[in-house]
Amino acid sequence: MIAKYVITIVYSALLAGGLFVGVWQIYQGFFKRAELLNPQFGNKVAIRMFTVHIFVVTCDLFVIGPLAIAHKSTFFYWSGRILLLNTALPIAAFFNRNPQTFGNFIGRWVMLRNFFEYGIHIVFFAMPVSWFRYYLLLWWLVAYRYLDVGPRRLLQRLYNTPEKQAARPWAQYVNWGTIVSIYIGAFFAVFYKQILFATVPSAATHSYTPSHWVVGIVVGVNFAVLLFEWITIRQYSDSLLAEAGVHEKVTAAHY
């Protein structure tokens, strides 16, 4: 039992650290742009997209996902994950600077990990309902959005200048080894149910069936977020053209 408390404390500290980094980056994007690790978030449209993404990840991890599992609601579980996907893909497509910031080795790892995680979500969605598998996806893969951020940022300071990179060519591999260890360690911690607040519903729990109006609201929220992402992507593209001195006749402001 003591081991569970220790593992839960470490897991919670990593989650809190990752969430803090995300919130701090939002603050920097709005008020201290010169301090951003990823300068692309100095764009006001880009930081708005990132803010929505962090809000959605947090809601899915701490609210939607746990409630969906506790009440055995596949509708809410996958609605939350689709919401997360809709906000994550534009971030990955437009603002991924992992190779430049953390090194090519970590950049390739992140890309492969993303493909694996999208794939396993599709596979688990297609398989018969298993609340253990859904619990695993939530507290391992979704939680990992925050779990590795603090250590990865901290170790990046060992090689965050060309001079440091030349003096410490091994540093990015230490960083990679650390975040992979967290990835594997988180899997085993969740798989063997070592996180005190992460639970699997009992067999006696009845599945929740949403009413039609609830379905309508959830679908409406997902569509609204998707529409926001589409329009914001266009606004971001327009802002880049404007910075380059090219002005479109019809901009996203008309939508």
Q: Please report the pLDDT score of residue 108 as a whole number.
A: 87
Q: Could you tell me if residue 67 is inside a domain?
A: yes
What DSSP designation does 130 have? -
Q: What is the radius of gyration, based on Cα positions, of the chain? A: 20
Q: Could you tell me if residue 241 is inside a domain?
A: no
Q: Could you tell me if residue 247 is inside a domain?
A: no
Q: Nearest-CA neighbor of 66 among 222, 224, 195?
A: 195
Q: Please report the pLDDT score of residue 203 as a whole number.
A: 86
Per-residue pLDDT tens digits for 51-89? 999 999 999 999 999 999 999 999 999 999 999 999 998
Q: Please report the pLDDT score of residue 50 as a whole number.
A: 94
Q: Could you tell me if residue 95 is inside a domain?
A: yes
pLDDT-derived band at 104, boundaries 50, 70, 90: confident
Per-residue pLDDT tens digits for 116-170? 999 999 999 999 999 999 999 999 999 999 999 999 999 988 888 888 888 888 9
What DSSP designation does 170 have? T
* Contacts (Cβ under 8 Å, ≥6 apart) of 121: 81, 137, 141
> How many whole angstroms separate alpha carbon 220 and alpha carbon 239?
28
Range of the structural domain that residue 190 is part of: 2-211
Q: What is the largest CA-CA distance in the chain?
A: 65
Q: Could you tell me if residue 108 is inside a domain?
A: yes
Q: Could you tell me if residue 47 is inside a domain?
A: yes
> How many whole angstroms separate alpha carbon 106 and alpha carbon 59?
27
What DSSP designation does 196 have? T
Q: Could you tell me if residue 252 is inside a domain?
A: no
Q: Could you tell me if residue 228 is inside a domain?
A: no
Average pLDDT, the chain: 90
**Domain tally for the chain?**
1
Q: Nearest-CA neighbor of 14 among 117, 116, 145, 107?
A: 145
